[in-house]
């Protein structure tokens, strides 16, 4: 489960990095300004939709760093002496689930659903409230 207080600190770190106010950030990720206020105050926990909008809008924000502080922000840069960032590497897909392997570049082909549409991302939700996302 996401620690709301630490999540709020990581969110504030994103604001500072991009030099944005909470209102400007809300506009950038296309959420209501009150949503940001409620998350920062601890009144509400971030939704999956909210988290995904941040990661899609700001590619430098790593999903695992945003959710639980593992990994680095921004991107691959290590931030020293930061109690919010643990500086542990983000696990690879194979580390998350050894059954999942990436194909060599010459063997990659787009995944398709039974409808014939190309699959971009698969998200697995667990009963304990955690999830894993895999991108094609």
% of residues, the chain, pLDDT over 70: 71
pTM above 0.75, yes or no: no
Q: Residue 44's pLDDT is what?
A: 87
CA pair distance 97, 93, nearest whole angstrom: 6
What pLDDT, in 10s, does the model give residues 5-63? Answer: 888 899 999 988 888 888 999 999 999 989 899 988 888 888 889 999 999 998 888 88
Helix/strand/coil for 112: strand
85-105 as b/e, with b when 16 or more CB fall inside 10 Å?
Answer: beeeeeeeeeeeeeeeeeeee
Domains delineated in the chain: 1-89 (1.10.260.40), 91-136 (no CATH)
The mean pLDDT of 92-97, rounded to a whole number, is 46
Band (pLDDT 50/70/90 cuts) for residue 94 is very low
């Amino acid at each position: 489960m996401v620690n709301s207080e630490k999540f709020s600190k990581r969110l504030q770190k994103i604001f500072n990095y991009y030099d944005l106010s909470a209102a400007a950030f809300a506009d950038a990720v296309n959420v209501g300004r009150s949503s940001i206020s409620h998350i920062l105050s601890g009144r509400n926990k971030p939704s999956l939709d909210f988290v995904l909008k941040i990661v899609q809008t700001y590619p430098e924000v790593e999903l695992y760093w945003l959710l639980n502080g593992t990994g680095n922000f921004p991107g691959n840069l290590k931030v020293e002496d930061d109690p919010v960032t643990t500086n542990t590497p983000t696990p690879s897909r194979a580390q998350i689930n050894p059954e999942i392997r990436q194909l060599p570049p010459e063997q990659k082909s787009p995944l398709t659903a039974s409808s014939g549409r190309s699959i971009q991302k698969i998200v697995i939700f667990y009963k304990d409230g955690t999830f894993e996302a895999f991108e094609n």
